[in-house]
Structure 1
Amino acid sequence: MAIDSERAEGAPAGASAGPDARSQLRRLGSKRVRRRVLGRIRRLISTYVLSSLTKRIIAINLVGLVALLSGILYLNQFRAGLIDARVQSLLTQGEIIAGAIAASATVDTGAITVDPERLLQLQAGESITPRSEDLDSLDFPINPERVGPVLRRLISPTKTRARIYDPDGILLLDSRHLYSSAQILRYNLPAPDAEEESLPMQVWQSIKLWLRRGDLPVYQEIGSGDGRAYPEVETALAGSPASVVRVSSRGELIVSVAVPIQRFRAVLGTLLLSTQGGDIDAIVQAERLAILRVFLVAATVTILLSILLAGTIAGPVRRLAAAAERVRMGSTSRTEIPEFDDRQDEIGHLAQAFRDMTHALYNKIEAIEQFAADVAHELKNPLTSLRSAVETLPLAKTENARERLLEVIQHDVRRLDRLITDISDASRLDAELARSQAEPFDLVDLLRNIVDAANERSGGESAEVLLTVADANGDKAYRVAGHDTRLSQVFANLLDNARSFSPKDATVRIGVARDGKRIRILVDDDGPGIRAEDTNRIFERFYTDRPDGEGFGNNSGLGLSISRQIIEAHGGRITAENRQEINKATGKSETAGARFVIMLPPAGA
């Protein structure tokens, strides 16, 4: 027994578990899987189906559908047409029943005296009533005992109420109180503790009465009172049929039609037919239920289409937002924005704009990082030289050595000052160009002022600068839109650079001309030119290539880089090349100097 217990304790978990334990573990595992699946389904529904954009699209689409449904239910002509049809049906039915009643009425013809001459004088639609002295000799012109069975058989299938009034408006028969022989009457009596209608039902009935009443009169039950209180009965006793539409205290429509009961144009009484309280309302309600069923189908289709529409919008927007979030979090590598090349709509344009913006942002970040690295490298050289000179200065033994070291220190300080100034100018250039408003100005006037200032400043000690302007159509052929201060900096820098490479007796030439839809500016010098491998490198930051013997560190190498940045900000392009001329002695093409080509768009282009 001890060995068995040791084995049981040393066995792995679940090894000695019985069938019940294994089934319990399986049930627990299946529950976890179900919970995980259900949680994933809920997340998908909340993300894609119940997202804010999806809810808004569904709500907007359903608002129009609900408004259409409300208009149909409230303004439809079905109810009015149904009332008119019901009136015509009751009139036809009343004329048939009135004719049958008139034929079944028991009248003592010898007791009623009608003047034949008066009958011949009657026009179409007119009638004559028996004289009062003739009626006095009769108990009832219409015998209720004979008319009752006929009326019951004719009224029972129609589900309408029929009342017969005599010429004095006295109620003779009411279909509610007509019963066949041996008929058993059953009434569902209310429970002893039965309460009145609930408050919500009373409020709903009051609302229906207010909505439906309008100009309709409210129906009032007269009972056995004078039937002439009903306007249609009064009209029918005069010999003309009439109809009235009323509304009950419960908000139900009641249509009443009164038809005269005539015999030989003599009005024996009036037949009043009226619909049940909920007759027309039941038909209208059935029609509205059919409309509601159609609405539910249309709403279901609208919701499904709205979800599909929201998926085509919310899905791509969600992917773009997730990519933008990854860019914001600063991932180590470039985050690619999703492409939607197959979409030529606003989502596709938005995705392309996001891609371009992200690429520009990454390029700007890389440029800033490279600029910071270049700045650190360029500052390190003069600082190293300055540190070495400062550390060596106390060890100098002669006055000449100290003076040389002090010159090195002053040179390095001036170089640092120049570097810091140019670096500061380059770092705030983009922000300054973005903030300032571009204004049109004449480029030729700007170049003339720069050339005059450069010639006056040199005093004949540097190469002369000449400006040549080609003829162009219009007074505004050389107007550009931009920042004249920054463009002045570009041309001044190019002139200084050209004069620094040209001999004193040489000439620096600036040419301005129209080249199609662009303005072309050429800056030529008579220097040694540019080495072929350095044609593109000269625009890099901190790059310098000076002739031998020129002082080291007199240039920061940022001038041409800043110039290209300014020209590109104005929508232009700057390039460098060598100017070729034919050597008269050898007849070969040789480099005669450097040339900078600037292309700028004119104002309004």
Structure 2
Amino acid sequence: MPDASGPVTTETPPTVPVERRGTNRRISPLLRRILLVNMLPPFLLAATLLYLDQYQDGLLAAEVQGLRTQARIYANGIAEAGVRIQDDRATLVPEVARPLLRRLTEPTAGTQAKLFDNNGLLVADSRVREGPGGAIVAEPLPPPSQPGPVASTLGRLYEKVLDWFPRPRVRGPAVVVDEAPDAPSFDWQPDLGPDRREELRLALEGGVNPYVRRTADGRLLVSVAEPARRANQPVGIVLLTREAREVDQRVMEIRGSVLVLFVMALALTVALSVYLARTLASPMLELAASAASMRAGKGRGGSVPAPLMQRQDEIGILARALQSGTNALWARVDANERFAADVAHELRNPLTSVRSAIETLRRVEKPDQQKRLLAIIAEDAVRMDRLIGDISDSSRVDAELSRSVAEPVDIGPILATLVELHNTTHGEGDPRMEIEAPAHLVVRGVEGRLVQVFRNLLGNAVSFSPPSGLVRVRAKPTGGVAEISIEDEGPGIPEAKLEGIFDRFYTERPSGERFGQHSGLGLSISRQIVEGLGGRIMAENRRNPDGSVAGARFVVRLPVV
């Protein structure tokens, strides 16, 4: 986390609209997207399974094949029992064939059989028999099955849905269903007769195609024609018509099953989508409300609800990150407030001194006193200039480090140069410096800021060292870090101040130093830089064998390359 020493910016960030709970949206956009994605597979499945034309064609083909077999059985029975052989010619006997055709047809409900002779004339009809006195009685057919309201609705819905999709290409011979409004019922028969010789010939040879139609009353009828032969001689044609109720029933059962499964899958999909949306959208809205509370300055301690932070999924990670960011934000705000208060306090002292000196200067007339007051004003101006410069530098450290890219820096030559520069320019009685460091020690950092850290620490050690004292600089690699220590022979650091020494405006200075020579920000800036580069800085006291304090030691640890 960046240090909270940055200045309080006066720029107003752009206003970002905040979504609040209680908006007019009944369904969140996230829920709509989840529903759309989750409902698409059930709809595609339903559309695919409801597309039952090929299945219906297969059932009709089986129905036609079964009816053909039944018609052949009837034709063979007529050819065996309803024919008279005379001069090796087989002749159909209508008086025998009529009751025989009725008896063959009776066991099969919803079936009508007709018998035509070789000339295409109707000879017998299974629905027609002679009543008393020679009257012709036509037996009624069973009424068409009336589907219930649910089945009718499903059927209409299926047909409407089916119209939206293109018809598939059927492999193999397709069964064509005549669905014209005027499609004939059981009274249909092939167009045969003495004047239709070619059609009659084809019928006697078994060349009449099956005829499947849907009548106006909803019956699905299948008609087939088979020739009756005796000794390879055609004696007539059997036309068999049957209502294919089982085909409609099976197709309707499958449609109903598919629609029930579709409704169940759809309900389950909607329920799971709503649950998923609630587990995602609702927590996000709560997090948005928490962010709005932060923006309004509320919820300083716990802006994010505790249940969200206790979750072990991505929402919990986001909630904890938001709360951590909130705590860091409030910590930065508090630090900025403390920083502003400290700056005001530190500037107030020299300003008060300058104001007092100016007020006194107006009243004194002696030149020597005026010179002394002017000197005080000049010293306080220098002090304020140094203080403002250090404050400005402290406020820029975090921003500069966040923009800078840490690069490999060889601190061996840097430390050697600083030590050599001091030993070359120090005056008589000033402390000396010694260095124990490898020629090359590469760390990751920003060169200019590292130089500033070492200068602050060396300057601090020199200022606390006794006359002609010794400052030792040591550097060595230790594991994955480089450890740099700077030791002096000064009075050491009070134990209670070992941590506070890095606070801003720390003013514990050596005796004899003129007031105002340091701003109290050097060590604080050094800690900002080191921690901003991923390192650590600490202070401790050196001890003599007898346990007395021998001086102070500052240790800097930086990651090596």
Instruction: Output the CA distance in 2 between the equivalents of 1:158 and 1:213.
Output: 34
Indicate yes or no: 2:352 matched with 1:384.
yes
Indicate yes or no: 2:7 matched with 1:56.
no
Alpha-carbon distance, 1:371 to partner: 0.9
Cα 1:224–1:401 shift into 2, 3 Å: same
Q: Corresponding residue for 1:86? A: 63
Indicate yes or no: 2:117 matched with 1:154.
no
Cα 1:104–1:533 shift into 2, 3 Å: same
Q: Corresponding residue for 2:340? A: 372
Q: Corresponding residue for 2:146? A: none
Q: Corresponding residue for 2:290? A: 323
Question: What stretches of structure 1 of length at least 5 have no aligned partner?
Answer: 1-42, 114-129, 131-137, 189-199, 583-587
Q: Corresponding residue for 2:17? A: none
Instruction: Output the CA distance in 1 between the equivalents of 2:374 and 2:211.
Output: 118
String of CA shifts for 1:450-482, please: whole Å, max 9, x gaps: 4344445547774333321269xxx8xx43222
Alpha-carbon distance, 1:424 to partner: 1.4
Alpha-carbon distance, 1:540 to partner: 0.7
Q: Corresponding residue for 2:442? A: 479
Q: What does residue range 91-102 of structure 1 map to in structure 2 within 5 Å?
A: 91-102=68-79
Q: 1:507 aligns with which of 470, 484, 490?
A: 470
TM-score (norm 1): 0.71
Q: Corresponding residue for 2:6? A: none
Indicate yes or no: 2:345 matched with 1:346.
no
Instruction: Output the CA distance in 1 between the equivalents of 2:245 and 2:165.
Output: 13
Q: Corresponding residue for 2:379? A: 411
Residue 444 of structure 2: SS of its match in structure 1? strand
Q: 1:225 aligns with which of 191, 203, 220?
A: 191
Alpha-carbon distance, 1:211 to partner: 1.9
Alpha-carbon distance, 1:95 to partner: 3.0
Q: Corresponding residue for 1:361? A: 329
Q: What does residue range 233-272 of structure 1 map to in structure 2 within 5 Å?
A: 237-238=204-205, 257-272=224-239
1:211 partner amino acid: R
Cα 1:318–1:210 shift into 2, 3 Å: closer
Indicate yes or no: 2:76 matched with 1:110.
no
Q: What does residue range 448-467 of structure 1 map to in structure 2 within 5 Å?
A: 448-456=416-424, 458=426, 462-467=430-435
Alpha-carbon distance, 1:274 to partner: 5.9
Question: What stretches of structure 2 of length at least 5 have no aligned partner?
Answer: 1-20, 131-135, 144-155
- Identity among equivalent positions (%) equals 39
Q: Which structure dedicates a bigger proportion of its chain to helix?
A: 1
Indicate yes or no: 2:400 matched with 1:432.
yes
Alpha-carbon distance, 1:270 to partner: 4.3
String of CA shifts for 1:50-101, please: whole Å, max 9, x gaps: 4333333333222222222223333797445534543443243333333344
Whether the 8 Å CA contact 1:511–1:522 is kept in 2: the answer is: yes
Cα 1:173–1:214 shift into 2, 3 Å: farther
Indicate yes or no: 2:260 matched with 1:297.
no
Cα 1:432–1:158 shift into 2, 3 Å: farther
Whether the 8 Å CA contact 2:471–2:489 is kept in 1: the answer is: yes
Instruction: Output the CA distance in 2 between the equivalents of 1:45 and 1:148.
Output: 82
Alpha-carbon distance, 1:548 to partner: 2.4
Instruction: Output the CA distance in 2 between the equivalents of 1:444 and 1:528.
Output: 28
Aligned residues: 508
Cα 1:555–1:88 shift into 2, 3 Å: same
Alpha-carbon distance, 1:350 to partner: 1.7
Cα 1:544–1:205 shift into 2, 3 Å: closer
Q: Corresponding residue for 1:211? A: 167
Cα 1:184–1:232 shift into 2, 3 Å: closer
Of 145-154 and 340-349, deviating more is 145-154
Cα 1:145–1:517 shift into 2, 3 Å: same
Whether the 8 Å CA contact 1:247–1:253 is kept in 2: the answer is: yes
TM-score (norm 2): 0.76
Instruction: Output the CA distance in 2 between the equivalents of 1:358 and 1:232.
Output: 94
Whether the 8 Å CA contact 1:520–1:597 is kept in 2: the answer is: yes
Structure possessing the higher relative contact order (Cα contacts under 8 Å, 6 or more residues apart): 2
Alpha-carbon distance, 1:289 to partner: 1.7
Cα 1:158–1:578 shift into 2, 3 Å: same
String of CA shifts for 1:91-147, please: whole Å, max 9, x gaps: 433333333443454x4421554xxxxxxxxxxxxxxxx8xxxxxxx7xx4749944
Alpha-carbon distance, 1:329 to partner: 0.8
Q: Corresponding residue for 1:595? A: 553
Indicate yes or no: 2:505 matched with 1:542.
yes
Cα 1:239–1:432 shift into 2, 3 Å: same
Instruction: Output the CA distance in 2 between the equivalents of 1:488 and 1:232.
Output: 113
2:47 partner amino acid: S
Q: Corresponding residue for 1:393? A: 361
Q: Corresponding residue for 1:119? A: none
Instruction: Output the CA distance in 2 between the equivalents of 1:503 and 1:234.
Output: 137
Instruction: Output the CA distance in 2 between the equivalents of 1:246 and 1:53.
Output: 51
Residue 397 of structure 1: SS of its match in structure 2? coil
Whether the 8 Å CA contact 2:465–2:489 is kept in 1: the answer is: yes
String of CA shifts for 1:150-192, please: whole Å, max 9, x gaps: 2597279454565656667x47479798688445889x9xxxx
User: Alpha carbon RMSD of aligned pairs, Å?
Assistant: 4.3
Alpha-carbon distance, 1:348 to partner: 1.9
Instruction: Output the CA distance in 2 between the equivalents of 1:431 and 1:172.
Output: 107
Alpha-carbon distance, 1:359 to partner: 1.4
Q: What does residue range 12-31 of structure 1 map to in structure 2 within 5 Å?
A: none
Alpha-carbon distance, 1:355 to partner: 2.0
